[in-house]
Amino acid sequence: LSIHALVVIPAYNEAARLPRLLADVAAYLRSGAPAADSLDVDFLVVDDGSRQDEFEVVKAEIERVQLVPAVRLIRLDRNQGKGAAIRAGFERGLAEGYDFLGFMDADSSVPVSQLHRVLEYLAVAAPGSLSGAIGSRMRMLGRDVRRNPVRHYVGRVFATFVSVAFRQPVYDTQCGLKVFTREAVRRHLSVPTDTRWVWDTQLLLAMLDAGECIHEVPIDWRETGHSKMSFLRDPLTMVWRLAGFRRRLRARRQAGQGIEDRV
Ligand SMILES: Nc1nc2c(ncn2[C@@H]2O[C@H](COP(=O)(O)OP(=O)(O)O)[C@@H](O)[C@H]2O)c(=O)[nH]1
Ligand SMILES: [Mg+2]
């Protein structure tokens, strides 16, 4: 089976962190590893209204790696949030006919090898059996997961809350690596209400709630020091956003718009 995927990289003022990921992406594409596993992967950096100088650095870096059209850049005219940036990338990917749409964070927390792992997982699954596969940061033998302890515990409390509140046996709702089929994205893209940190969690929950089959794939993760998220304010906002989202999903279910809602 071959996979034609677009991987969106949301980027907000990422001049300092994105060049490293771009170098890894370039090495990956040139290594022949994707082709060896019948993966045809393109990348789309979505700049989310970064400062002009930050944007220029990213733009220059993408030109420097000389991987157009495999690595492209688009820019949103104002800052709208991580979710809005991924969404813009997904819409582009749908219009361009990609079979799989995914995203990964710009900060190299997810090594490119782990994107490969998830795409490979989708490639060997029985055709049509999965609507997506997401990375999961499980500390376990055979995986190398390095996280800041505070972020780990805040994250675990949050993910457990989401799992219980939405009655879904998902371990890691917040991982910065998720890939879905184009059909699943098309069916659920309009459901999320958030535009920032919980957009992708909402998209995932909308899919699970409608009965889509998504698998978690344990990946390596190496956290970099900084985060654009605040430890206290953002998790509280995220809980609040998700509480409201539960009602939205319930209403949607009652209206009978689940997985059968094919346009
Ligand atoms: N589009 C957009 N992306 C953002 C924004 N803030 C952070 N990001 C992106 O979201 C991803 C994760 O951000 P990061 O700072 O690593 O947060 P973390 O999830 O706490 O590690 C990165 O690709 C960032 O560039 C924002 O305001 N807008
Ligand atoms: Mg990060």
CA 254 – ligand 2 centroid, Å: 36
How far, in Å, from the CA of 100 to the mean position of ligand 2?
A: 23
Ligand 1: centre distance to CA 125 (Å)? 30
pTM: 0.95
Per-chain residues with Cβ under 5 A from ion ligand 2: 107, 109
Residue 26 buriedness (CB in 10 A; 0-12 / 13-18 / 19+): buried
Where b means 16+ CB within 10 Å and e means fewer, 193-225 reads ebbbbbbbbbbbbbbbbbebebebbbbbbebee
For the chain, percent of residues with pLDDT exceeding 90:
85
What pLDDT band is residue 253 in, cutting at 50, 70 and 90? very high
Task: Tell whether the model's pLDDT for residue 94 goes beyond 90.
Answer: yes
* CA-nearest residue, atom 21 of ligand 1: 227
CA of 109 to the centre of ligand 2 (A): 6
For ligand 1, atom 18, the nearest C-alpha belongs to 227
**pLDDT confidence bin for 34, thresholds 50/70/90:** very high
What's the confidence (pLDDT) of residue 95? 98
Whole-angstrom Cα distance, residue 183 to residue 36?
26
Span 166-182, pLDDT tens digits: 999 999 999 999 999 99
